[in-house]
């Protein structure tokens, strides 16, 4: 019974499923994988953010050297190789996600971990956030990298030849500062430093240092820019230029050669250059004043520019509107039209210019004549002559025209033989002669009157003619005072009565008096001074307003519709 309850044994060759060897191998693989992932964070067949940087020297940096940001490891160096054709080294790195992003203006330095330790790491500054971020595989230029100074480099700097050269340099520099210049050397120097040592001349420059340093500070402040990041942009641009020059060594060599040639040219003109630099100070002072004035004018210029904007906007439409007119006017000004006419008028224009120039004196005389007419002659015609019972009440120029009308009426023909007037030149038993003033060829004039002379208006108050004053313009003279005295003789030859010879019917003379016209001495008056017309026995002097023309004054007097006050109803 016991033997029958046991399962039968299966032979090894008949067994199925995994063999112990297979199970052991799989278990070993699983253990290795678990162990690898337990001690590393990297995923097989993948990599992190790759970044390349060019250094002037690898400086003992090796693969697996750490990359740090602010002392924290963010990656490692994966490869170090030489830049083809140069002594520079290209360092490749892998950066973890904790070190991203890295910007375009990032900087890298190779620094020692511990002084004298010999180990180095890459110190990474990721740059400013305002700059664009770098992509995977980008390279940072050599202008943004730096290497540390090694102790051996410091020690080899001051070797025996270098120390000797430095001593000679210091001794020569001290001698240059303390030695007195020779007369030949002083000839080319500024008078203010002649006879002084270089040290004394340098000390003298300290007097001008405050103004110079102030200008330097202003320039340095200007280099900072007006906005944050301007200086860094300038440095970045300089780095770009330097990188371009580094790529084009031939162009850089030509630049250095041309610069050397330019400096040699400056050196050959050192005397003129020294004079120019001496004049540069006053020039800069005047320039500074000019710039201050220019800066003060900017607000007004800015306001003018703002006011000009609407006009500028309308300039193009104006041009578009004017183009058709220009197209029409172009044939008009051609040689066949106005152009030819202008050529024909050129001789006439030259003659007209000469006539205009010579006519200036004529215009002056014409102006004086017009002023005389408007301010003396025509106002005198407006005076009303007071003649007692014979007073007409009209202005004397009207009385003249009234007499012309009467003369025309008196001379009308009644027999068809034309107009004529009969005058009887003689007549009367009373002979009248003039005084010595009113004479002809030195002899008094005489005539016959039908009645004794009672006098004249106005009486003459002198024994000879008043002098003519030619230095005073006519328009400044007073008007004649025709109503200044009464009519009739004066007793005893009183002033204002001119004695005359009066003969009676039998030819015997009887004393009588004949007054003559009074003429006052010329006085200077202002041409624009208004003078009211006189009435009665006062002086009648009315002046026309300044600027009235002779034609206007004549038209005013001949206007038949003018009222008694001189206006037009």
Q: What is the DSSP string of 1-33?
A: -HHHHSPPPPPGGG--S--HHHHHHHHHHHHHH
Whether pLDDT at 521 is above 50: no
Q: What CA–CA distance (Å, rounded) separates 57 from 80?
A: 10
Q: Does residue 514 register a pLDDT over 80?
A: no
- pLDDT given for residue 550 in this prediction: 63
Higher pLDDT: 189 or 553? It is 189
Q: What is the pLDDT of residue 503?
A: 41
Q: Check whether 365 has a pLDDT greater than 50.
A: yes
Mean pLDDT for the stretch of residues 314-319? 90
Report the pLDDT averaged over residues 287-296: 88
Where are the domains positioned within the chain?
A: 49-149, 367-410+427-557
Predicted pLDDT at 68: 92
- Tell me, letter by letter, the H, E, C secondary structure of 398-429: HHHHHHHHHHHHHCCCCCCCCCCCCCCCCCCC
Q: Which residues contact 189 (CB under 8 A, 6 or more apart)?
A: 181
Over the stretch 32-48, which tens digit does the pLDDT of each residue have?
877 776 666 555 656 67
**What pLDDT was estimated at residue 417?**
67
Res. 332 pLDDT band, cuts 50 70 90: confident
Torsion sign, CA atoms 69, 73, 78, 81? positive
The better pLDDT of the pair 465, 349 is held by 349
pLDDT tens digits for 470-490? 788 888 888 877 776 554 444
Give tens-digit pLDDT for 387-408.
777 788 888 888 888 888 887 7
Percent of the chain with pLDDT over 70: 71
Residue 6 has pLDDT above 70, yes or no: no
| Averaged pLDDT for residues 150-173 | 77
The model's pLDDT over 86-133, given as tens digits with 9 standing for 90+, comes to: 888 999 999 998 889 999 999 999 888 776 555 788 999 999 988 899
* Overall residue count recorded for the chain in this entry: 569
Question: Closest Cα partner for 51 from 105, 90, 109, 84?
Answer: 90
Average pLDDT over residues 529-543: 37
pLDDT of residue 548 exceeding 60: no
**Residue 162 — pLDDT band, cuts 50, 70, 90?**
confident
Among the ranges given (173-177, 208-212, 425-429, 560-564), the one the predictor scored with the smallest mean pLDDT: 560-564
The distance in angstroms from the start CA to the end CA of the chain is 172
Q: Which helix H or strand E contains 342, and what residues bound it? A: helix 338-372
Residue 153 has what pLDDT? 66
> With contact defined as beta carbons under 8 Å apart, do 58 and 89 qualify?
yes
Q: 434-447 pLDDT, tens per residue? A: 766 566 676 777 77
Least confident of 239-248, 360-369, 522-531: 522-531
Quote the DSSP letter at residue 520.
P
Sign (positive/negative) of CA torsion 411, 412, 414, 418?
positive
Mean pLDDT score of the chain = 75
Enter the tokens of residue 352. 């007209």
Q: What pLDDT is recorded for position 546?
A: 42
Q: What is the pTM of this model?
A: 0.29
Tell me if residue 49 falls in helix, strand or coil. Answer: strand
- What helix, strand, coil percent values describe the chain, rounded to 5? 45, 10, 40
- Look at residue 164 and tell me whether its pLDDT is greater than 70: yes
What is the pLDDT confidence band of residue 195, given thresholds at 50, 70 and 90?
confident
Q: Which of 215-219, 321-325, 545-549 has the lowest average pLDDT?
A: 545-549
């Amino acid at each position: 019974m016991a033997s029958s309850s046991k399962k039968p044994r299966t032979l090894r060759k008949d067994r199925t499923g995994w063999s112990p060897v297979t199970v052991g191998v799989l278990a070993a693989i699983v253990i290795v994988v678990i162990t690898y992932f337990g001690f590393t964070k990297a995923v097989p067949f993948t990599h992190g953010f790759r970044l390349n940087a060019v250094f002037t020297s690898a400086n003992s940096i090796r693969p697996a050297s750490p990359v740090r940001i602010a002392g924290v490891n963010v990656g490692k160096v994966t490869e170090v190789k030489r830049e083809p054709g140069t002594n520079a080294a290209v360092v490749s790195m892998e950066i973890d996600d904790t070190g991203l992003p890295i910007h375009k203006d990032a900087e890298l330095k190779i620094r020692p971990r511990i002084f004298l330790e010999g180990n180095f790491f890459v110190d990474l500054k990721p740059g400013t956030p305002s700059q664009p971020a770098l992509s995977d595989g980008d390279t940072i230029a050599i202008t943004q990298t730096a290497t540390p100074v090694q102790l051996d480099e410091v020690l080899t700097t001051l070797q025996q030849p270098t120390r000797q050269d430095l001593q000679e340099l210091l001794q020569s520099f001290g001698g240059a500062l303390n030695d007195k210049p020779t007369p030949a050397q002083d000839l080319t120097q500024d008078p203010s430093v002649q006879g002084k040592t270089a040290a004394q001349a340098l000390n003298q420059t300290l007097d001008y240092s405050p103004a110079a340093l102030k200008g330097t500070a202003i320039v340095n402040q200007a280099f900072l820019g007006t906005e944050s990041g301007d200086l860094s942009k300038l440095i970045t641009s300089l780095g770009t230029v330097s990188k371009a020059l580094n790529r084009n060594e031939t162009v850089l060599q030509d630049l250095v050669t041309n610069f050397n040639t330019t400096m040699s040219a400056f050196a050959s003109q050192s005397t003129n250059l020294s004079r120019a630099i001496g004049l540069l100070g006053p020039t800069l002072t005047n320039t500074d004043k000019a710039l201050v004035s220019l800066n003060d004018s900017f607000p007004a210029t800015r306001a003018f520019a703002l006011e000009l904007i609407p006009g500028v906007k309308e300039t193009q439409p104006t041009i578009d509107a004017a183009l058709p007119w220009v197209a029409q006017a172009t044939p008009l000004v051609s040689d066949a039209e106005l152009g030819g006419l202008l050529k024909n008028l050129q001789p006439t224009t030259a003659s007209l210019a000469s006539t205009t120039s010579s006519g200036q004196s004529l215009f002056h005389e014409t102006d004086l004549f017009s002023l005389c007419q408007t301010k003396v002659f025509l106002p005198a015609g407006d005076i009303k002559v007071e003649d007692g019972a014979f007073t007409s009440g009209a202005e004397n120029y009207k009385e003249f025209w009234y007499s012309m009308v009467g003369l025309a009426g008196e001379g009308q023909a009644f027999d068809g033989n034309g107009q004529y007037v009969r005058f009887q030149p003689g007549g009367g038993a009373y002979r009248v002669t003039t005084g010595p003033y009113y004479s002809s060829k030195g002899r008094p004039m005489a005539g016959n009157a039908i009645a004794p002379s009672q006098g004249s208006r106005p009486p003459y108050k002198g024994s000879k003619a008043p002098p003519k004053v030619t230095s005073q313009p006519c328009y400044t003279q007073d008007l004649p005072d025709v109503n200044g005295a009464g009519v009739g003789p004066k007793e005893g030859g009183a002033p204002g009565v001119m004695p005359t010879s009066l003969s009676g019917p039998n030819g015997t003379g009887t004393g009588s008096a004949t007054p003559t016209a009074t003429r006052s001495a010329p006085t200077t008056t202002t041409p624009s001074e208004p003078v009211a017309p006189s009435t009665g026995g006062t002086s009648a002097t009315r002046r026309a307003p300044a600027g009235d023309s002779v034609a206007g004054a004549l038209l005013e007097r001949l206007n038949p519709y003018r009222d008694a006050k001189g206006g037009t109803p």
